Amino acid sequence: MVKTDAFATTKAGKLQGVCIDGVYRFLGVHYAETTAGENRFMPPQPLIPWEGVRPALEYVAKCWQTDTPRMEDKEITTTKYFVNQQRLMVGSSEMGTGRQTEDCLALNIWSKGLRDGKKRPVMVWFHGGGNIAGAAEADWHDGYNLALKQDVVVVTIGHRLGIFGYMYLCSFSEKYKNSANLGHQDMVAALKWINENIEEFGGDPGNITLFGQSGGGGKVAALMAMPSAKGLFQKAIIQSGGHMASPPEDGTMYAKQLLDFLNIDTDNVDELLKIPPEDLIEASREINRSRTLGTYFQSPVINDGEVIKYDPFDGAEGSEMSKNIRLISGYTKDDAMLQALFNPVYFSYTFDELPEKIVERGYSEENAKKLIEIYKKLLGSECTACDVYSSLLNDESHLMRTKQRYESRAKVGAVPMFSYVFCFESPDEDMKAIHGVDVPFFFDNAIYAPGLWNADTRVGAMKVSEDAAAAWAAFARTGDPSNPAMPVWKPYDEENKYTMLIDVESKLVTHYREEALEIILASKK
């Protein structure tokens, strides 16, 4: 490894990074001032210029955060299914280290060039974690391989989460009237920084692609329809992500719960500034424990009047705003096995009781039986009742979402949208291509995720890793994910519903699981 110093000059001041084997790396680059003290629960504040050189040599600690209610349920996390999933994730630091801070508004950059006049595509990553957890630092989404092999500039972004990013105080004080969706306001501040400074790092501010998985995919979706983000990027990739947002009244209710828990009157919200961050996290944790599994204490608020005004795929305003953003939308083949992971009873379902379970989801007995037969045919003779049930959950969510996204965009004459399903399976027969296993592959970092392959599948895993990264980079470069390693990737359309199945041997298919989708759509009207 050859490692040398590297220097870059931004609008606010000079940074010291490193060059490692031909890739420049700058870590922990602040794009806004600290959110501690008086800046807590306030919009991101512009950087104050500095003299001299600031080191950008290590990741900044992640935002203070707590786990979801599900992750804190010992009855779940001690099951063999959860333990197996954690084994598969060996090598990942998706949630970062244990370090936490309120000074978390920082980003990380990887590029093959500095001030070399070359305008490289810029790929900006938003981590998962449902807006309440996660980190910009990770083995899985380290940008080195993408930058080196694909000659793109990679940026990963940290921002406020949970109680610090989505505490809705607008209803209680004029001072906090702009406190809605602070985490998303942070993202916009980061994108503005990128637009102003990325040329210094060899990037093209006119060719920026956002990509993110799970909650990160939801962030990308929200940014597509946020007025403050308009023009700050040109393309988007949503990996297993939905647009998550609550109405303002829910945000007000959750904030009131916290204030009551801390014995703070709604007329004295400033008292929140005096409470140590770890105590706020503990309060949030206690409130989460009292809520129903699967619900979050804090989440983005839609129709807040300022930040997130529209859903990008529901309604004319959001669709119109995002129509010129080229889009890739997809998910993992067994995404919904995550739901089985958090509801282990699914693994015990039998085919005898499965019709009743499907009827409970709003289907007729006749359609329940039809769906079981369809999925048995699709999944093969060795499939289990859990396989069938989780496939239905998957298609109810992601497959239906793909169709809805296309239709909303088609109504406004949007630019092309590409659809995919990530099919490479982990070695664990219960987990398969579960939610999240795709992340290291799209960064060409599968080598850092040994739990996702074994001796028999290693070669195939490395191929998928290279191919998937090449597709994302091609899309970032041209707006078309087609590349020499895959078949020609045609845009999704109403007539053919083209979908790329990404695997060792990827293939473009038409009408993916359409027979099941028709029954789902008819039953969900």
CA 285 to each of CA 71, 162, 229, 296, 357: distance values in angstroms, whole numbers, following the listed order: 11, 10, 31, 10, 32
Name the active-site residue from 171, 214, 391, 506: 214
Spatial separation of the C-alpha atoms in residues 338 and 453, rounded to whole Å: 18
Task: Give Cα 328 distance to the centre of its chain.
Answer: 13
Task: Determine the 3-state secondary structure of 299 from DSSP.
Answer: coil
Task: Determine the 3-state secondary structure of 96 from DSSP.
Answer: coil
Neighbouring residues of 20: CB distance < 8 A, sequence distance ≥ 6: 1, 2, 3, 144
Task: Determine the 3-state secondary structure of 106 from DSSP.
Answer: strand
Q: Considering only CA atoms, which of 209, 210, 206, 228 is closest in space to residue 219?
A: 210
Hey, which residues does 211 pair with through a beta bridge? Answer: 125, 237
**Using alpha carbons only, what angle is made at residue 69 by residues 404 and 270, rounded to the nearest 5 degrees?**
95
The tokens of 192 are what? 């503005």
What is the DSSP-derived secondary structure letter of residue 347? Answer: G
Phi, psi of 213 (to 5 degrees): -120, 145
Residue 214: active-site member: yes
As annotated, the active-site residues are 214
